[in-house]
Amino acid sequence: MYSPQFTITNKLLKTIGIIEAAKEVIENSPLVPAWEAKFREDALVRTVHHGTHIEGNELNLTEAEKVLAGAKIVGRERDIQEVLNYRSVLKYIETFGEGEFTEEALKRMHELTVRRILPDETVGVYRKTQVVVKNSQTGEVTFRPPPAVEVPFLMTDFLRWLTTTSAEDVHTALKAAIAHYEIVRIHPFLDGNGRVARALATLVLFRDGYDVKRFFALEEHYDREPLAYYESLQSVGKLGGNLTGWLEYFSEGLAIELSRIKDKVKALSTDLKIKKSFGGQQMALTERQIKIVEFIQENGFLQNKTFFELFPMVSEDTVLRELKDLLGKGIVKKEGTTKGARYVLRT
């Protein structure tokens, strides 16, 4: 039976801790429904754009967003179809629920990914010929997947592991990373394997309790530095099948993306709490002021001696000006008059 090889390193433990902490904040922060919908729509657009762009799709983010909104744009027909297809894959993932990771489900994802792009006889079916992955610039063969005759056995064996492995056995983030890699390694389809691999990783996260309100887009992390992404995938083969480096890369990407979303959610939640405290009145706060309010919420108070800790590159006078504005708006109040004075939230 398939059994992944990896070691739990300090780096993995650290990134998993960051993932868990960010997940907790995002899932428990109060956001109005309109903001939640906006976050989900933004994540969908980013996932679709970056998930296809990394494969050579020439549409930019704005063009992809217009296509998803139903607008007509000038672009290659294949590029437009790829964007529409990947949205269909994500919609399928969102409605998957607690279904099993079956070959039928995976083939359906492939069908949605490549319909109207590949010949009908290759859509949703395992490849029957040998393929290779070449460097687009040099033409050098960089990866040779297993022979086509082995694909059905390898897929059955892997999906059995994926179905029977629980979060208690392997953390969900690592399970998703392993699923991503195995689809890339086996390369079960003639084309579209990268998109299916990334989609399956997302499905594993969603199905096993890590949808995190569907606010994140892992594909943006890969597309930002595609060379690092591909080198990390290729490192597994060079290390005799050891997945540790790839798992570190994948979990770090998820940690970065969730931390970024966490910061945005916290800022919005802070703004919402302030509005509630002041009868729904709009309060225009700067980023520094939001950070000050968050610090006081988490620590109870703010003192002059902690200014540098909070804003290491900002002068004390600048921080005091931000505080003076918060005092004027009635959001914080000052207790004491010396250097030991404390700023607390006004209740």
pTM to 2 decimals? Answer: 0.80
Q: Do 119 and 229 belong to one domain? A: yes
Residue 53 known to be catalytic: no
Question: Is the residue at 4 inside a domain?
Answer: no
Q: Do 308 and 225 belong to one domain? A: no
Q: How far apart are CA 36 and CA 39, in angstroms?
A: 5
Q: Do 139 and 255 belong to one domain? A: yes
Distance of CA 285 to the CA centre of its chain: 28
Mapping DSSP onto H, E and C, the string for 315-335 reads CHHHHHHHHHHHHHCCCEEEE
Question: Is the residue at 297 inside a domain?
Answer: yes
Q: Do 250 and 338 belong to one domain? A: no
Q: Do 161 and 31 belong to one domain? A: yes
| Contact between 57 and 83 (Cβ < 8 Å) | yes
Q: Do 257 and 329 belong to one domain? A: no
Starting from the edge strand earliest in sequence, which strands make up the sheet with 332-335, in order?
Answer: 302-303, 342-345, 332-335
Q: Do 255 and 288 belong to one domain? A: no
Q: Do 104 and 196 belong to one domain? A: yes
Q: What is the domain count for the chain?
A: 2
| pLDDT one-digit tens code per residue, 255-290 | 999 999 998 888 777 666 665 555 545 456 777 887
Query: Dmax of the chain from CA atoms?
Result: 79
For 319, the domain range is 284-345
Question: Is the residue at 273 inside a domain?
Answer: no
Residue 96 pLDDT > 60: yes
Q: Do 235 and 295 belong to one domain? A: no
Q: Do 116 and 222 belong to one domain? A: yes
- Given the residues 49, 171, 187, 221, the one annotated as active site: 187
Q: Phi and psi of 285, rounded to 5°?
A: -110, 145
The DSSP code for 215 is -
Given 235, 264, 293, which residue is the final one in a domain?
A: 264
Question: Is the residue at 274 inside a domain?
Answer: no
Q: Is 197 annotated as a binding residue?
A: yes
CATH number at residue 120: 1.10.3290.10
Q: How far apart are CA 60 and CA 78, in angstroms?
A: 14
Q: Which residue has the higher pLDDT, 290 or 254?
A: 254
| Contact between 123 and 111 (Cβ < 8 Å) | yes
Given 264, 294, 318, which residue is the final one in a domain?
A: 264
Question: Is the residue at 275 inside a domain?
Answer: no
* Torsion, CA 99, CA 119, CA 121, CA 123, rounded to 10: -10
Q: How far apart are CA 12 and CA 4, in angstroms?
A: 16
- Whole-number percent of the chain with pLDDT over 70: 94
Number of Cβ within a 10 Å radius of residue 163: 11
What would the mean pLDDT of 164-188 be, rounded to a whole number? 97
Q: Is 191 annotated as a binding residue?
A: yes
What is the residue type of 13? Answer: L
The DSSP code for 146 is P
Q: Is 192 annotated as a binding residue?
A: yes
Question: Is the residue at 90 inside a domain?
Answer: yes
Q: Do 15 and 125 belong to one domain? A: yes
CATH number at residue 326: 1.10.10.10
Q: Which three-class secondary structure state does DSSP give residue 55?
A: coil
| pLDDT one-digit tens code per residue, 297-327 | 778 889 988 888 888 888 889 999 999 988 8
Q: Do 227 and 313 belong to one domain? A: no
Helix axes 33-53, 77-94, angle to 10 degrees: 130
Question: Is the residue at 20 inside a domain?
Answer: yes
Q: Is 194 annotated as a binding residue?
A: yes
Given 264, 296, 313, which residue is the final one in a domain?
A: 264
- Whole-number percent of the chain with pLDDT over 90: 67
Question: Is the residue at 339 inside a domain?
Answer: yes
